[in-house]
């Protein structure tokens, strides 16, 4: 009997298969499997490895892992890769043929693995890729209440090649069908690898479920032969939200330049209006200006700049992968007529905020805050930590006499948790905001801009950087408004 975990890391070349099988044979033999069971284990492993090399890894030289976990009950072999996303629930299983001349190719590999070992389990790890577990028990060992796990099917090859069409293709823009979630995940993998910030895009089942719930609305552009050329999503935290974020955009390389994104965006705008959404907003990275230009071309206008709000090393800029935390430009587009309300602008930001409102084509009544505005004793604040991106959000729902001490306490706790970026949302329709803003900034917050309809009808965004140093030359801005906001920040803050 052997013990201990063994890990083999190999590149996607079939020449390594004999060596892998030789190791597996010796391992299973030492555990105590019979010659017949050893051959069954080798056959299941061959199917799994062949599937990864032939279908999951598209680039030559990519590596993957084969993990051997022996135990007193038998052995578990884990084949782990970071190739194309996959969802076994979206692919039909293997059906036994009536005769030898009509053997279906789909599902045969999974069928063989299931016959060779006791359990075949698929695990989606999101950005960490996926795992296939092959479990074989020693004779005489049984599992009480054992149930079958979902059975994976071989990943099919990408439909079509990478050649750019010679003429603009015809597309149908529509809502994504749940069965298309797997192909959308693969689109994101081919576009971003496993670097895309929204991990749900690598879980086809979760993406399909969020669409069924209405919290995500996926728009796809589909060619005449059924190939998904692009995706754009609308995201809400609750179905009662009056503003939604547009994003989760990707277009296949060979279809770029055919204005697919613009058509999907207009489809999404019409849908948002139909269901009562008041406004849409987008977040464009500043490692490059391409997404900013695209967002502006579809009618969105820049209104805020959040410095270092996303982790470093994700987005590629002019000189390669960004080595500092990523800055985002927030832009807004009203899809319904917004009422003309009153806002109380902090005096030291008033000139810029008036220009942002003008830039957004929003009419507002600009009021002066009165010093005798009454406030209750206790503040009401809502805090949310986004640990995966090292950011947090604080919403001041009600000012109290304890506002500054409470904010200082939240700030201290978040910094202790090593949160790098903190966004603070204030209600500009509350007279207290106009005179409280400067006191809040004394805690280290500084202005980011405004975003209508998010949390409040008129929302002022402040931000705080916790031990984050940014190089201005790595922040690439397209619009004059975004540049003006950055200049306003630089005139007041050293970051």
* pLDDT, greater one: 55 or 468: 468
Per-residue pLDDT reduced to its tens digit, 340-353: 999 999 999 999 99
Q: Compare 148 and 238 and report the one with higher pLDDT.
A: 238
Q: What is the pLDDT of residue 385?
A: 96
CB atoms within 10 A of CB 379: 18
What does the pLDDT read at residue 91?
57
Higher pLDDT, 223 or 148: 223
Kindly list the distances between the CA atom of residue 57 and the CA atoms of 23, 157, 189, 204, 405, in Å, as whole numbers in the listed order. Answer: 23, 10, 11, 18, 54
Confidence of residue 3 (pLDDT cuts 50, 70, 90): low
329 and 369 share one domain: no
Is the same domain home to 401 and 460? yes
pLDDT over threshold 70, residue 104: no
pLDDT (0 to 100) of residue 153: 38
Do 323 and 196 lie in one domain? The reply is: yes
Contacts of 162 (CB under 8 A, 6+ apart): 253, 254
Average pLDDT over residues 234-248: 94
pLDDT in tens, 177-224: 999 999 999 999 998 888 888 889 999 999 999 999 999 999 999 999
Cβ neighbours, 10 Å, residue 164 = 13
| Tokens 């986004």 sit on residue | 386
* Domain enclosing residue 32, as ranges: 6-137
| pTM, two decimal places | 0.74
User: What are the tens digits of pLDDT across the range 412-447?
Assistant: 999 999 999 999 999 999 999 999 999 999 999 999
Predicted pLDDT at 390: 94
C-alpha 91/C-alpha 72 separation (Å) is 34
Whichever domain contains 269, its CATH number is 3.40.630.30
Confidence of residue 58 (pLDDT cuts 50, 70, 90): confident
Decide if pLDDT at 235 tops 70.
yes
97 pLDDT above the threshold of 90:
no
To which residue do tokens 């589909």 refer? Answer: 222
- Residue 346's pLDDT is what? 96
Question: CA 484 → CA 282, 288, 458, 465, distances in Å?
Answer: 19, 18, 20, 20
Query: Is 80 contained in some domain?
Result: yes
Residues 318 and 353 in one domain: no
Q: Which position has the token pair 């015809």? A: 170
So what's the pLDDT on residue 374?
Answer: 80
How far does CA 354 lie from the centroid of its chain?
A: 34
Q: Would you state the pLDDT for residue 95? A: 54
Same domain for 124 and 194, yes or no, is no
- CATH for 53: 3.30.565.10
Least confident of 117-126, 163-172, 404-413: 163-172
Shared domain for 214 and 359, answered yes or no, is no
pLDDT at 158: 44
pLDDT band at 155 (very low <50, low <70, confident <90, very high): very low
Are residues 419 and 358 located together in one domain of the fold? yes
What is residue 103's predicted lDDT score, i.e. its pLDDT? 46
Instruction: Output the pLDDT for position 196.
Output: 85
Domain count, the chain: 3
Residue 350 and residue 300 share a domain = no
DSSP secondary structure code for residue 325 in this structure: P
Residue 247 pLDDT grade (very low, low, confident, very high; cuts 50, 70, 90)? very high
H or E element, residue 221: strand 216-223
Asked if the model's pLDDT at residue 318 lies above 50, the reply is no
Residue where one domain finishes, among candidates 137, 157, 182: 137
Mean pLDDT on 311-334: 77
Q: Is pLDDT of 151 > 90?
A: no
In sequence order, the 6+-apart residues with CB closer than 8 A to the CB of 475 are: 286, 307, 327, 486
């Amino acid at each position: 009997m052997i013990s201990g975990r063994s890990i083999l890391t190999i590149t996607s070349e079939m020449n390594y298969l004999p060596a892998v099988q030789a190791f597996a044979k010796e391992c299973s033999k030492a555990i105590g499997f019979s010659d017949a069971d050893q051959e069954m284990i080798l056959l299941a492993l061959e199917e799994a490895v062949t599937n990864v090399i032939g279908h999951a890894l598209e680039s030559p030289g990519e590596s993957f892992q084969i993990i051997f976990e022996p135990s007193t009950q038998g052995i578990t072999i884990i084949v782990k890769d970071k190739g194309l996303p996959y969802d076994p629930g979206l692919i039909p299983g293997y059906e036994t043929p009536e005769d030898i001349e009509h053997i279906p190719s789909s599902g045969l590999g999974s069928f063989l693995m299931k016959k060779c070992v006791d359990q075949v389990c698929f695990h989606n790890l999101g950005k960490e890729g996926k795992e296939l577990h092959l479990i074989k028990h020693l004779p005489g060992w049984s599992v009480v209440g054992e149930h079958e796990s979902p059975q994976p099917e071989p990943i099919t090859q990408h439909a079509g090649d990478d050649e750019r069409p010679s003429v603009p293709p015809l597309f149908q823009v529509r809502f994504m069908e749940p069965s298309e979630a797997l192909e959308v995940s693969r689109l994101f993998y081919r576009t971003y690898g496993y670097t895309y910030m929204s991990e749900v895009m690598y879980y086809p089942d979760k993406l399909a479920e969020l669409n069924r719930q209405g919290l995500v609305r996926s728009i796809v552009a589909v060619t005449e032969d059924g190939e998904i050329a692009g995706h754009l999503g609308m995201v809400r935290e609750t179905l009662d939200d009056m503003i939604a974020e547009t994003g989760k955009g990707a277009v296949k390389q060979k279809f770029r330049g055919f204005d697919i994104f613009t058509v999907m965006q207009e489809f999404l705008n019409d849908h948002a209006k139909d269901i009562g959404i008041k406004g849409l907003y987008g977040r464009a990275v500043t490692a490059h200006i391409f997404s900013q230009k695209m967002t502006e071309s579809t009618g969105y206008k820049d209104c805020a700049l959040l410095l270092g709000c996303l982790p470093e090393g994700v987005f590629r800029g002019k000189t390669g992968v960004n080595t500092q935390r990523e800055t985002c430009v927030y832009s807004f587009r009203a899809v319904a007529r917004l009422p003309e309300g009153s806002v109380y602008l902090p005096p030291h930001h008033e000139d810029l905020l008036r220009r942002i409102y003008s830039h957004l084509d929003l009419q507002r009544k600009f009021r002066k805050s009165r010093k005798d505005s009454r406030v209750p004793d206790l503040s009401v604040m809502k805090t949310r930590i986004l640990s995966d991106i090292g950011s947090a959000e604080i919403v001041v729902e009600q000012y109290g006499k304890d506002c500054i001490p409470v904010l200082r306490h939240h700030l201290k706790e978040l910094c202790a948790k090593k949160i790098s970026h903190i966004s603070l949302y204030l209600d500009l329709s509350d007279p207290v905001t106009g005179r409280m803003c400067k006191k809040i900034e004394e805690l280290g917050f500084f202005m980011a801009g405004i975003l209508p309809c998010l949390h409040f009808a008129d929302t002022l965004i402040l931000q705080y950087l916790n031990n984050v140093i940014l190089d201005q030359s790595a922040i690439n801005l397209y619009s004059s408004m975004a540049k003006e906001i950055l200049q306003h920040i630089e005139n007041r803050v050293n970051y």
